Amino acid sequence: MELHGRVVPLAANDPQRHFRGRVRLGEDGAIDSVLRNRTPSSNGLRVVDVGDAFIYPGLIDLHSHIGFASLPLWDEPARDHPFLHHNTWPSAPSYRPFISWPAYALIKGAPEALLAYAQVRALAGGTTSIQGWPPANRRPANQLVRNIDDENFGNASDNSIRTSALTLSVSDLKQRARHIESGGGFIYHCAEGQGGSLAAREFAEAARAGCLRSRLIAIHCNAVGDADFRQWQEHATLAGDASPGSVVWSPFSNLWLYGETTDVAAARKHHVSVCLGTDWAPSGTKNLLGELKIANLWIREAGLDISHFDLVEMVTSSPGDVLGACWPHAAGRLEAGRLADITVVARRHPDPWKNLVMARESDVLLVIVGGHARYGTRDLMRACGESRTTSVGIGADRRHALLRKPDDAEQVWTWSSVLGELDEVRADPDAAIDRGHRVARAALEASLMNGAAPPPGLVLELDMPGAPEMFAGPPPPGVEYEVPEPSSLVHDRAWLGSLRERGFHNGVLDRVADYYV
Ligand SMILES: [Zn+2]
């Protein structure tokens, strides 16, 4: 297949260059070639012309918790001052009834539907890879978006990234340092909280354990500052790394919970690469198009010297480069041999960098992962050879997604059935949890029998925060709580309106509405 349009390759040797041209996708899921002209190929390749639209590398969301993707924004109603660090909000009175219990019911009662919903939500923002999948006993029936925590390219031994959403001991961190030393990657929730709070100790311990290396992907780090990023650079240099690693910036979530965010200027000054992550739905944006706008807003608010181009790098080549250093395949740029993950976005601005920062869900025309179209307009999906899709309402628009029934991969799984399964959980959460527990028991028995058992049902676990019995566990018997309706897939008026007078962002996040007028 060959895509024709305005190609924005972010090529390593000349990242700002863009041109009218074509991207040829290989049969192997990698990019075959990127060419400057639009002369039709003569060798019978399928040609998909996206007209004036921009063809970007697929967007990479380096931090989320997709098991919570259907929940609305959360705040603790009675609280009047920001949280100090990541261990202070899970004990807020409304945390369990509004987050853990509904999330538990959904993840146990409708695991396949929940992951389908979360992936379509990510695709609606042009995302091709996302971090923060719930631990699972097997892969979901529908794997539309790459699972950064568990991507193995079909070879179990190639899963070279370790992830931890929880704080690790120094001895565990030393093990992760050895993993990094041997060529693997380590994604670590680190030093999430206000500057100078107790959470900064997590960074010091990661440093002590030898984790400050080029393949460390540290999430948040908003409790640390210039001296710490300098230490990271020094450690990596001493260890012989060509560059320090990456920090994942989630400005919405940081501002919402803590009223301050990562010192990205300091990180950049010390050559720590900055990547964007949406973080989870209770304190995050819906997808990277939203997070780009928050980042842009914060850059202006804080007077930082970060351009639209820099922001585009934070969701494409920067995460792509660090993942490529861990994976057997490079990502994040449109170059021969790299993963054929592509996002096509309508052209509203002549400048491709501003165009992506300003883009809305309605501008996402086509999303390709591993050379296969997963989501897009009906016409473009058909042009890619995908006519058996389900229609999804994306705000006022319609898009088509490639979903298959979990129990019959030949059949299209309609979006209304996906939502219907989530509705069933809402109607009777206790029954949904019971159902999930039965599936888990059957899956466990099947794995113990180790015979020709049918494939076990999908069993997911919540990934955060705290120990399961503390926060993420089942609701106590007889307790009253409500599972909310899945929130909208787009940054709509209701969501924008819900930012006012909530969270601890001091009104900064209110202004994101200006991007949507
Ligand atoms: Zn997180």
| pLDDT (0 to 100) of residue 456 | 79
CA atoms of 472 and 475, how far apart (whole Å): 9
CA of 35 relative to ligand 1 center, distance in Å = 39
Residue 429 CA, ligand 1 centroid: distance in Å: 25
Mean of pLDDT values over 218-236: 98
Helix (H, G, I), strand (E, B) or coil at 180: helix
CA diameter of the chain: 68
- The mean pLDDT value of the chain amounts to 94
Nearest residue to 120 (alpha-carbon basis) of 328, 403, 309, 357: 403
Question: What are the sequence ranges of the domains in the chain?
Answer: 2-58+332-387
Taking the centre of ligand 1 as the mean of its atom positions, its distance from the CA of residue 247, in whole angstroms, is: 13
Compute the distance from residue 254 Cα to the ligand 1 centre, in Å.
10
What confidence score (pLDDT) does residue 470 get? 54
Domain 2-58+332-387 is found in CATH 2.30.40.10: yes
pLDDT digits (tens, 9 = 90+) for 278-295: 999 999 999 999 999 999
- Contact between residue 287 and residue 124 where contact means Cβ atoms under 8 Å apart: yes
Count helices and strands in the chain by DSSP H and E runs: 16, 19
Using the mean position of ligand 1's atoms as its centre, give its distance from the Cα of residue 215 in Å.
19
CA–centroid distance, 148 to ligand 1, in Å, is 14
Q: Which amino acid is at 271?
A: H
For ligand 1, the distance from its centroid to the CA atom of residue 121, given in whole angstroms, is: 17
**Structural contact between residues 159 and 459, judged by C-beta atoms closer than 8 angstroms:** no
**φ/ψ bin of 214: left (φ > 0), alpha (ψ from -120 to 50), beta (otherwise):** alpha
Residue 248 CA to ligand 1 center (angstroms) comes to 10
pLDDT digits (tens, 9 = 90+) for 8-57: 999 999 999 999 999 999 999 999 999 998 676 667 899 999 999 999 99
The pLDDT-based confidence of 469 (bands split at 50, 70, 90) is very low
Residue 179, C-beta contacts closer than 8 angstroms, at least 6 positions apart: 162, 186
In this model, does residue 79 exceed pLDDT 60? yes
Instruction: Give the Å distance between the CA of 249 and the centre of ligand 1.
Output: 10
Q: Kindly tell me the sign of the dihedral angle through the C-alpha atoms of 131, 137, 138, 143.
A: negative
pLDDT reported for residue 41: 65
Burial label for 393, CB within 10 Å (0-12, 13-18, 19+), is middle
At 98, phi and psi to the nearest 5? -95, -25
Element (H, E) at 265: helix 264-269
CA–centroid distance, 340 to ligand 1, in Å, is: 27
> Average pLDDT in the 55-66 region?
98
Determine the pLDDT at residue 388.
Answer: 97
CA distance 467 to 372: 38
DSSP state letters, 127-138: EEEE--PPPBSS
115 C-alpha to center of ligand 1: Å?
Answer: 17
How far is the C-alpha of 63 from the C-alpha of 462, rounded, in Å? Answer: 15
How close is the Cα of 495 to the center of ligand 1, in Å? 20
Q: What is the pLDDT of residues 356-405, one digit of tens each?
A: 999 999 999 999 999 999 999 999 999 999 999 999 999 999 999 999 99
> Environment class of residue 154 by beta-carbon count within 10 Å: exposed (0-12), middle (13-18) or buried (19+)?
exposed
Cβ 132 vs Cβ 166: under 8 Å: no
192 Cα to the center of ligand 1, angstroms: 9
C-alpha 169 to ligand 1 mean position (Å) = 18
How far does the centroid of ligand 1 lie from the alpha carbon of residue 238, in Å? 30
Contact 262, 301 (CB under 8 A): no
d(CA 270, CA 138): 40
Distance 283 CA to ligand 1 centre (A): 9
Ligand 1: centre distance to CA 374 (Å) = 26
| Alpha carbon distance 173, 175 (integer Å) | 5
Distance 311 CA to ligand 1 centre (A): 20
Distance (Å) from CA 131 to ligand 1 centroid: 10
CA distance 262 to 255: 9
Distance (angstroms) between ligand 1 centre and the Cα of 30 equals 30
Cα-to-centroid distance, 65 and ligand 1 (Å): 6
**CB distance 334 to 9 below 8 Å:** yes
Predicted pLDDT at 446: 80
Distance 287 CA to ligand 1 centre (A): 14
Q: What is the pLDDT of residue 463?
A: 81
Q: Nearest CA to 161 among 145, 148, 142, 175?
A: 148
Q: Which of 121, 25, 131, 37 is nearest to 71 (CA)?
A: 121
Say if CB 172 and CB 199 are below 8 A apart: no
How far apart are the CA of 165 and the centre of ligand 1, in A? 7
β-strands 47-57, 2-7 pairing: parallel
Task: Tell me the percentage of the chain whose pLDDT exceeds 90.
Answer: 85
Residue 42 pLDDT:
66
Burial class (CB in 10 A: 0-12, 13-18, 19+), 442: middle
Band of pLDDT at residue 467, cut at 50, 70 and 90? very low
pLDDT: which is higher, 119 or 440: 119
Does residue 412 or residue 487 have the better pLDDT? 412
CA of 262 to the centre of ligand 1 (A): 14
pLDDT at 450 over 70: no
60 pLDDT exceeds 50?
Answer: yes
- Calculate how far, in angstroms, residue 279's C-alpha sits from the geometric centre of ligand 1: 5
3-state helix vs strand vs coil in the chain, percent to 5: 35, 20, 45
User: Tell me, what amino acid is at 384?
Assistant: C
What distance in angstroms lies between residue 465's CA and the mean position of ligand 1's atoms? 9
Ligand 1 mean position, distance from CA 61 (Å): 12
List pLDDT tens digits, range 142-170.
999 999 999 988 776 666 999 988 899 99
Instruction: Kindly give the pairing relationship between strand 390-394 and strand 397-401.
Output: antiparallel
Question: Do the Cβ atoms of 30 and 338 come closer than 8 Å?
Answer: yes
State the average pLDDT over residues 471-479: 79
Q: Which of 343, 424, 405 is nearest to 142 (CA)?
A: 405
Q: Band the pLDDT of 195: cuts 50, 70, 90.
A: very high
Sign of the alpha-carbon torsion through 107, 111, 117, 120 = positive
